[in-house]
Amino acid sequence: MRAHTVVDSPVGKLTLVAEGDRLAGVYMEQQRHLPPEETFGVRDETPFAETTRQLDEYFAGQRREFALPLHFDGTEFQRSVWMELSRIPYGETVSYAELAARIGKPTAVRAVGAANGRNPISIIVPCHRVIGSGGSLTGYGGGLPRKQFLLAFEGVPGQLSLG
């Protein structure tokens, strides 16, 4: 059974979606590839106490890793990309090509980019930590200004430019 709630954050309102006791979605306002609202389930804050606490800690600078049970709806390939995203450390970035190599598909850079863009659990599964090979901020489902904010918030070194 699905449930959802909406919480405030420094990047705007976030819609949290649960599949049973697992987090299945963290969606930003006006996010690209946003599923239809009717798929979010009933509005109920109950399953989100721990998610909300960990997000609050993250945005307060007190948490660098999330420890939540996750549920991914996607293809096997997409899930492999999303699992690898979870391994990118706080404050670090990788290129799409590096991400493709990490999942054993070095020629699948475009497919990795597409899967990254469809990540249903933003922030917690840190797709914002993937950048273009030249260091540019290419693509982000939540919008490039949010990506730039999240990377700056995490103290990513260097001057990242909007690509």
Query: pLDDT by residue (tens digit) across 117-150?
Result: 999 999 999 999 999 887 777 878 788 889 989 9
Q: How many residues does the chain have?
A: 163
Which residue among 11, 124, 127, 131 is the active-site one? Answer: 127
Residue with the two structure tokens 């389930």 = 41
CATH no., domain 2-59 = 3.30.160
The predicted pLDDT at position 61 comes to 95
As a whole number, mean pLDDT of residues 47-57 equals 97
Tokens at 15, concatenated: 């819609």
**Residues 160 and 136 sit within 8 Å (Cβ to Cβ):** yes
* pLDDT at residue 163 tops 70: no
Question: Looking at beta carbons, which pairs linking 82-87 to residues 24 or more positions away fall under 8 Å?
Answer: 82/115, 82/119, 82/120, 82/121, 82/125, 85/116, 85/119, 85/125, 85/126, 85/127, 85/129, 85/130, 86/125, 86/126
Name every residue whose Cβ is closer than 8 Å to that of residue 84 and which is 6 or more positions away in sequence: 99, 102, 103
User: For the chain, what are the domain ranges?
Assistant: 2-59, 76-162
Closest CA to 115 of 143, 78, 140, 148: 78
Name every residue whose Cβ is closer than 8 Å to that of residue 10 and which is 6 or more positions away in sequence: 59, 149, 153
Q: pTM to 2 decimals?
A: 0.92
34 counts as catalytic:
no
* pLDDT at residue 45 tops 90: yes
Q: Could you give the count of Cα atoms lying within 13 Å of 148 in the half-sphere of its Cβ?
A: 11
Task: Please tell me the least confidently modeled range out of 24-33, 56-65, 101-110.
Answer: 24-33
If residue 130 lies in a helix (H) or strand (E), which one and from where to where?
A: strand 130-131
As a whole number, mean pLDDT of residues 4-23 equals 97
If residue 23 lies in a helix (H) or strand (E), which one and from where to where?
A: strand 22-28
What's the topology of domain 76-162? Arc Repressor Mutant, subunit A (1.10.10)
- Convert the pLDDT of each residue in 85-115 to its tens digit: 999 999 999 999 999 999 999 999 999 999 9
